[in-house]
Structure 1
């Protein structure tokens, strides 16, 4: 009997021990059921900030400086770790960019550190992965989701699927759910066909990296990920949580000659403003010196926006009285 109780007590102590990813610095593989996702966490405190990279973006895009020599600037993940717990992860098939000016003898890209899976995958598939990761790593809610580009579709669908877990959101040049519908309406058929082909498939990358992440499927107007987010928005409106939207100030480069840049930028601005209506008191800031990758162009602005959301989760009274962000930014909504 005594021996039985000792075994039971030992088993209980093992089961209830905190996950290595739940506290302290952690970087490594987390099994989510037959395959693993690479996770990195730093810092202490609640809420936990979860960083969701854009299409093809590896988790270390939040900590590696791909514009300047390492250490020259404070990047997003270490910057956020100074005031709360923060985690980033690799989706399967993502890559780490390499600047040949900084690493002339380096590889053309760094592959994902997570187990490959069949591609393409939808936003719903990626929400399922993230949820499984947070559960397996025993990272407690509440979460502030910070998402770039297409990662914004994952963040918004996650918030619709698990609303009780999400306390705030920061969207960094996020992909709107209606962007392909609006682009299709605005472009002549020949231009749309060219744009769709460029968006759906990057054959050069697939030749070099067959496991590469693929987001979009043709026809783009019926792409499952945008449809899933559109339906979720109608079914489960966002709760009145702190929402900070950061938007590029430097227009996108034309993907091909004849691209109607002014018209397409106006569409993206309209869709950005539409996302801002999802919750009361959303804040919208244009990062004047940033292109699409605001977290690399102006990481200090991203860190400051995240801090305001984290502060508002801890004390809601701070949201409306928070001072404006410093630096080369302008507000369109405060």
Structure 2
């Protein structure tokens, strides 16, 4: 089986069998029972979805590049409550596998494959089809909580389907500004490091691949996000040592440009600060004591951020 660490990504600075844990039920306010299974989205395609908890608005987690739904139930500290379980304590929450992701046990995506590479528009279309095809997520509008590349999906979804988004939590989300803030040679390194190597594609030809240049253009062309509750969580640990660790353990190529990490460290603060300017009154949390994967390293911060947004939506406020 492919190895998740090797097939994974470096974003920041990164025929299906029906599996049903419990069929959802409508209690008048939307789905209320735990669900884990594939959803027919039409076109002879199925997408894997997990949901738990009760209440509105429903929170929909969007994972980072090549991460599946299990990203939100994974914690660095085994004793910690995961982001998914923590949010399920106060509202309905769902997460899903995009096509081509790799799960933590080195299993492959539970969603049907699609031609690769994709753009963010493709990912948004899949999410919109998924939410429209199932009652398990409950009625919209939704709160989108998104990590890394998932942040692009959340933002483009909010720009193209504004009536379906009530608020957002962006978790060290990827910004299109990397294309202009990074020196050209370092942006090319970003593209190279986010493109799977051939040995990975030989193992898993359907591995998720994103055309970032086209996707960044799609984000820039989208309508501005409507005023809504927004929390931005930003990593505060230097990227450079993480890159060195990736080279040492083989998850990053040995010939990586030594200037790449410092270049990312230099531009990430502005890119993240500008995400917090997407709407008036956004809350920006920069003291996270975390690297890129805040939802795994510090899941309670994600739970707290989601709660702030959910509470604001319930109160009819546009600021968390």
What is the TM-score normalised by the length of structure 1?
Answer: 0.78
What does residue 3 of structure 1 align with?
A: none
Task: Specify the structure having the higher radius of gyration (Cα).
Answer: 1
Aligned to 1:58: 68
Structure 2 residue 188 is the aligned partner of structure 1 residue 179: no
Contact 1:40 1:88 in 2 (8 A): yes
Report what 2:204 is aligned to: 209
1:304 aligns to what? 304
Alpha-carbon distance between aligned partners in 1 of 2:91 and 2:52, rounded to the nearest angstrom: 8
TM-superposed deviation, 1:194 = 4.3
Query: Is 1:97 paired with 2:104?
Result: yes
Determine the C-alpha separation between the residues in 1 that align with 2:144 and 2:293.
17
2:122 is equivalent to residue 125 of structure 1: yes
8 A contact 1:58–1:89 mirrored in 2: yes
| Counterparts of 2:121 and 2:296, CA distance in 1 | 27
Matches within 5 A, 1:135-284: 135-138=132-135, 139-183=138-182, 186-187=183-184, 189=185, 193-216=188-211, 223-232=213-222, 236-252=223-239, 253-254=242-243, 256-259=256-259, 261-284=261-284
Given that 1:201 and 1:214 are in contact with CA atoms closer than 8 Å, whether structure 2 keeps it comes out as yes
Please give the alpha-carbon distance, in whole angstroms, between the structure 1 residues aligned to 2:71 and 2:196. 22
Checking the alignment, whether the CA contact within 8 Å between 2:64 and 2:149 is kept in structure 1 is yes
Higher relative contact order (CA 8 A, sep 6+): 2
Query: Which secondary structure state, in structure 2, belongs to the residue aligned with residue 177 of structure 1?
Result: coil
- Distance of 1:257 and 1:224 partners within structure 2: 24
- Would you identify which runs of 4 or more consecutive aligned residues in structure 1 move more than 3 Å? 191-196, 260-263, 316-320
Deviations 1:293-324 (A, max 9, x none): 0000000111011000000000145956xxxx
The size of the alignment, in residue pairs, is: 278
Q: Distance in 2 between matches of 1:257 and 1:81?
A: 42
1:81 to 2:88 alignment: yes
In structure 1, runs of 5+ residues without a counterpart are 1-16, 99-108, 218-222, 321-334
CA contact (8 A) 2:288 2:301 kept: no
| Shift in CA distance, 207/312, structure 1 to aligned 2, threshold 3 Å | same
- On the 8 A contact 1:178/1:230 being kept in 2, the answer is no
**Per-residue displacement from partner, 1:254-294 (whole Å, max 9, x unpaired)?**
36352254442231111111121111101111243211000
Q: What residue number does 1:13 align with?
A: none
Secondary structure at 1:174's aligned position in 2?
coil
Residue aligned with 1:146, SS: strand
The answer as to 2:46 corresponding to 1:42 is no
**Deviation digits for residues 167-222 of structure 1 (CA, Å, limit 9, x no counterpart):** 10000000112212322xx25x4x554443222333232222111111136xxxxx
Moved more, 32-41 or 308-317: 308-317
> Deviations for 1:82-107, whole angstroms, at most 9, x for unmatched residues?
00000000000111134xxxxxxxxx
State the TM-score, normalizing by the size of structure 2.
0.81
What displacement does 1:248 show?
A: 0.4
Which one of the candidate residues 109, 113, 116 is aligned to 1:112? 109
Matched residue SS, 1:37:
strand
* 8 A Cα contact 1:287 1:294, kept in partner: no
Cα distance in 2, alignment partners of residues 225 and 199 from structure 1? 13
Q: In the superposition, relative to structure 1, how do residues 304 and 57 fare at CA in structure 2: closer, same or farther (>3 Å)?
A: same
Report the CA distance shift for 1:193/1:312 in structure 2 as closer, same or farther (over 3 A): closer
